[in-house]
């Protein structure tokens, strides 16, 4: 029964969409999770490796990567649910904000790392 599926606020509405669309939506979430693992690994590597960079800027870049890596899976899960629900209700698909977080974070990290290298 659809009412017994979790999360109930997603599956309790509308009709079952074409499985291909639901699976594509799920693959998108999994891609965001792989991306978040890369962000966490990058942030960890920046601090674990003793790179010849200005230490405060290196730490700031690592923190931005770790925060983004922690936030991306949560935002991706919310986007998955919103998209799945929209498909079930045959409504327009909602816009995403995970990509905006990622673009902003990577841009900030790039600037911080560049400055850290230039000011070493």
Is the residue at 58 inside a domain? Answer: yes
Is the residue at 38 inside a domain? Answer: yes
Compute the average pLDDT of residues 2-31: 88
Task: Choose from 11-15, 48-52, 63-67 the range with maximum mean pLDDT.
Answer: 63-67
Band the pLDDT of 1: cuts 50, 70, 90.
very low
Is the residue at 8 inside a domain? Answer: no
Q: Is residue 52 a contact partner of residue 120, using CB atoms and an 8 Å limit? A: yes
CA distance 57 to 1: 53
**In this structure, how many other beta carbons lie within 10 angstroms of the beta carbon of residue 80?**
20
Q: Tell me the whole-structure pTM to 2 decimals.
A: 0.87
Is the residue at 114 inside a domain? Answer: yes
Q: Is residue 54 a contact partner of residue 120, using CB atoms and an 8 Å limit? A: yes
Is the residue at 6 inside a domain? Answer: no
CA distance 73 to 36: 7
């Amino acid at each position: 029964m659809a009412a017994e599926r979790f999360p109930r606020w997603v599956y309790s509405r509308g009709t079952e969409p074409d499985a291909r669309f639901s699976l594509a939506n799920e693959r998108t979430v999994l891609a965001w999770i792989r991306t978040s693992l890369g962000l966490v690994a990058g942030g960890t590597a920046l601090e674990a490796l003793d790179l010849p960079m200005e230490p405060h800027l290196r730490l700031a870049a690592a923190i931005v990567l770790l925060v983004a890596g922690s936030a991306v899976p949560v935002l991706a899960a919310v986007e998955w649910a919103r998209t799945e629900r929209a498909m079930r209700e045959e409504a327009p698909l909602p816009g995403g904000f995970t990509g905006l977080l990622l673009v902003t974070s990577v841009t900030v990290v790039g600037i911080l790392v560049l400055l850290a290298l230039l000011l070493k």
